Copies of this chain bind each other. A is one copy, B any other.
Amino acid sequence: MILTKLRGLYRSLSETEKRVADYLLERPDDVIHYTITELAHFADVSETTVYRVVRKLGFNGYQEFKIGLARELATPRPIVSKTLNVDDKVEDVLIKVVNDDIQAIRDTSEVLKAEDVKYVAERMLRSRRVVFLGVGSSGKIAEEAAARFARVGIYTSAYSDPHMQVIVGAMLDKEDMAIAISHSGTIRDTVKSLQVAKDSGAFTVSITSGMGSPITQASDIVLYSSVRRDPYMEEFTSSRIPEMLVLDVLFTVITLEAYKAHPDMFRKIDEVLKPKRYL
């Protein structure tokens, strides 16, 4: 939880603060025995910087942070897969990717706040229109999300073209909702589009792993996904599983509500799809 959060925050930290984060991520077990002065010394920064990182993690003070870290480290640690290696056999890659993806889900479940999902779901159900925004890979997820939510009766659409995003964003108002997807939270086009939607009065949501990233500024509420543990791996894999999970949860909540409201709708959908299938 704390370390997961730290990874999410990582990109938004300054160089000096990153030194603290690096030390923390590398040897959390040692840190719980250090005073702030010692940690500052080892990370080669001032106490003030350590203190600032701790505050950014949401703690009121260093002691409180250490207590939290101690609690977290006491819980048995998940099986950490070793890092990917260039000359791994396919069998090894399979195991590692599986573990990594599972870990990504676990991490996401730690940073994703149920109350936020709940709030977004409620708001979504009474929005006139919901638009999903994303470019590149995130654009595909946006489209996929739009299709899924449309199936359960939400009036929704997705835009992955920046120009269309801005145009549509400008036409939204306070009855509407815009959900932007960006893994890093730093994609200019998406941030800008969401800001336009917000300026137009729409309720804005973002799905991102980038805590404190630019997109969070343009969001009324942020649903956090996790960031990969091994930063070196990031360029190798670009799994969208964390975002998928966030959407799975949101979708399931919405679906349950929809089911409560119209229990017969699901049979209908199935009937419509039947002729498209064999069996």
Contact = CB atoms under 8 A, between A and B. Distances in A.
A3 interface: no
Interface string A72-92: 111111000000101111110
A152 to B, nearest CB: 9
A256 B236 contact: yes
B213 A259 contact: no
A162 to B, nearest CB: 10
On chain A, which size bracket covers the interface? 35 or more
For this chain, the copies found in one complex come to 2
Task: Tell me the dominant secondary structure on chain A's binding face.
Answer: helix
Contacts of A184: 277
Interface string A241-260: 10011001101110110011
Interface stretch (A135-143, A168-176, A197-205): A135-143
Which 7 pairs show the lowest CB-CB distances between chains A and B? A71-B74, A74-B74, A140-B144, A70-B70, A90-B118, A186-B277, A98-B109
